[in-house]
Amino acid sequence: MHLPIELDRNRDEPLQNQLYEQLRGLIIARRLKPNSRLIATRFLAEQLGISRTTVLLAYERLISEGYLETRPAVGTYVCSVLPDLVPAPAVVSSGVEFLPQMELRPPVFRGGSPQTSQQERPLIDFWNGPDFRIFPLKTWQRMTQHVLESVGKNLSHLPPSAGIDPLKAAIGEWLAAHRGIVVDPEQVIIVAGRQQAYNIVARLFLRSGDRVVVEWPGHDGATFLFDSFGAEQCLVPVDEHGIQVDLLPAGPVSLAYVTPSHQTPIGGTLPLERRERLIQWARGAGAYLIEDDCNGDFRYRGMGPPSLKSLDPYGLVLFTGTFSKSLGAGLRLGYLVVPHELVGPAVSVKALLDNANPWLEQMVLAEFIASGEFDRHLRRVRKIYMERRDCLMASLQQHFGEVQLGGTDAGTHLTWFLPSTLPAASVIQELALMRGIGVYTVNTEGQTETAACPYAKNALILGYSSLDEWQIRDGVAGLAATLRDYRRRAAG
């Protein structure tokens, strides 16, 4: 602990009195908080260049007046209850005359932030997130130990801003095999999750007033970010297949953000024909496309259409993915693939944001991918999630009959399009929560439109990846009972 104390040996007042007054002032001003431990007298004497006796006398006076107390075998602490407070003396008198303070400017930042995990979750929570229990802990521990034993000396070195070469090469090979994207490793930039990827792209291209196309409803993490740059957001409605390319705006656009693999939040997979038209539109609008491969790792039916990046002949698509869904958000690793001409500026922006991601996690992930363990892990997780998806679909049909569902081909959640005979999605969410069941509505916070989003009222988001099958069955049964009770009360 370093205390802001200055003693003046040229003053007539004894050093012991000066030290007492300044310590007392720090306590009264709450700069030394109640129950906080003080520095030992020997160390304080060394810091101030005075005798330990002087410090002891100042401490003893403060103890006698009820400001400090000694705790045997522990040390000296500020008392939890202080004596009657008087105005604190000046801690340090520097003799400088201070001018009146000018009015502070408000922060230039604008916008909100997306919701993250809740502090307390319902007993049965249809939250759209990974099952952390499936994390391959033993394999990860073994590979971490191997990395530390083989190249552990690099742990204290600052990694390259764009990421370490082994991880970039492993991701490049994996994308070629699984997404049909052929890139040089230098085009791969390691980021701290997809949110940082959006930040890099926005810093590259956005100025206040620029137009950005976003899906409506869409991912609030992206929309809040673009809003913070002062961009004009062009909301393009989605249907059960994804963004409606016929409704894309005319004229110049700086960026377009899309989630073609599994639209966030409705869950549709964008058809090939729409993908091709989207690329042609982007070329005409002078827009770069951010392709967010959201939930692209979890596909349960067929291969799905090729990625936008693999279809792009013009170098307009910036592709981003994350390991948060497949391995866990705590890893904080993802990637951004940029065209060759953007590598330099993108790496510079990344360096300004955080210099680099931690070396150890990158190195272990590189070995995890290159060894084939990542593919094995994904196959295992896909099987588990598909069984849970099937359980959820069967449970909904058992209790509610024929249900209209979206997003069933991929991802970790599905969308239940509610019939007119049921209450609005927000009402069901409140009723379910009172029963200890968490279900979710389409969140359009951060997106403004004169007409309300139709999905906000009739779409219920049900995640299944983090629940066991018995929890899914009990949750749907509880939801059905809740709605029966609601109907009974309404009829009465």
- 45 vs 53, 138, 464, CA distance in Å? 9, 51, 62
Do residues 348 and 397 share a domain? Answer: no
158-216 pLDDT, tens digit per residue, is 889 999 999 999 999 999 999 999 999 999 999 998 899 999 999 999 999 999 999 99
Q: Is residue 202 part of a domain?
A: yes
206-226 pLDDT, tens digit per residue, is 999 999 999 999 998 899 999
CATH number at residue 36: 1.10.10.10
CATH number at residue 486: 3.90.1150.10
Stated pTM of the model: 0.78
Helix orientation angle between 425-434 and 469-491, rounded to the nearest 10 degrees: 110
- What does pLDDT average to over the chain? 89
Do residues 396 and 351 share a domain? Answer: no
Residue 373 has pLDDT above 80, yes or no: yes
Query: Given 319, 351, 373, which residue is the final one in a domain?
Result: 373
Q: Is residue 368 part of a domain?
A: yes
**Rounded distance, CA 355 to CA 378, Å?**
30
Do residues 353 and 271 share a domain? Answer: yes
CA angle 150, 329, 374 (to 5 degrees): 50
Residue 92 has pLDDT above 80, yes or no: no
Q: Is residue 440 part of a domain?
A: yes
19-73 pLDDT, tens digit per residue, is 999 999 888 888 888 888 888 888 888 888 899 999 999 999 999 988 999 988 7
Lowest mean pLDDT among 16-20, 35-39, 133-137, 451-455: 451-455
CATH number at residue 353: 3.40.640.10
Query: Given 355, 373, 391, which residue is the final one in a domain?
Result: 373
Query: Given 373, 407, 434, which residue is the final one in a domain?
Result: 373
* Residue 148 burial (10 A CB sphere; 0-12, 13-18, 19+): middle
Q: Is residue 88 part of a domain?
A: no
Q: Is residue 97 part of a domain?
A: no
pLDDT band (50, 70, 90) for residue 390: very high
Contact yes or no for 213/249 (Cβ under 8 A): yes
Do residues 189 and 202 share a domain? Answer: yes
Do residues 409 and 464 share a domain? Answer: yes
Q: Is residue 353 part of a domain?
A: yes
**What tokens appear for 348 in the block?**
């510079």
Do residues 267 and 289 share a domain? Answer: yes
Q: Is residue 28 part of a domain?
A: yes
Do residues 151 and 207 share a domain? Answer: yes
Q: Is residue 301 part of a domain?
A: yes
Strand ranges in 133-258 using DSSP code E only, listed in sequence order: 188-191, 211-216, 232-239, 242-243, 255-258
β partners of residue 188: 337
Do residues 63 and 181 share a domain? Answer: no
pLDDT at 360: 93
Number of domains in the chain: 3
Domain that holds residue 434: 124-128+376-491
pLDDT at 96: 54
Which one, of 233, 213, 201, lies nearest residue 111 by Cα? Answer: 233
Which one, of 290, 372, 278, 304, lies nearest residue 336 by Cα? Answer: 290
pLDDT band (50, 70, 90) for residue 295: confident
Q: How many other C-beta atoms are found inside a 10 Å radius of the C-beta of residue 306?
A: 15
Amino acid at 474: D
Report percent pLDDT > 90 for the chain: 64
**Rounded distance, CA 255 to CA 260, Å?**
15
430-447 pLDDT, tens digit per residue, is 999 999 999 999 875 556
- The 3-class SS string of 388-446 reads HHHHHHHHHHHHHCCCEEECCCECCEEEEECCCCCCCHHHHHHHHHHCCEECEECCCCC
**Rounded distance, CA 341 to CA 162, Å?**
15
Do residues 210 and 334 share a domain? Answer: yes
Residue 449 has pLDDT above 70, yes or no: no
Do residues 278 and 407 share a domain? Answer: no
Do residues 366 and 387 share a domain? Answer: no
Do residues 405 and 283 share a domain? Answer: no
**What tokens appear for 251 in the block?**
């004229």
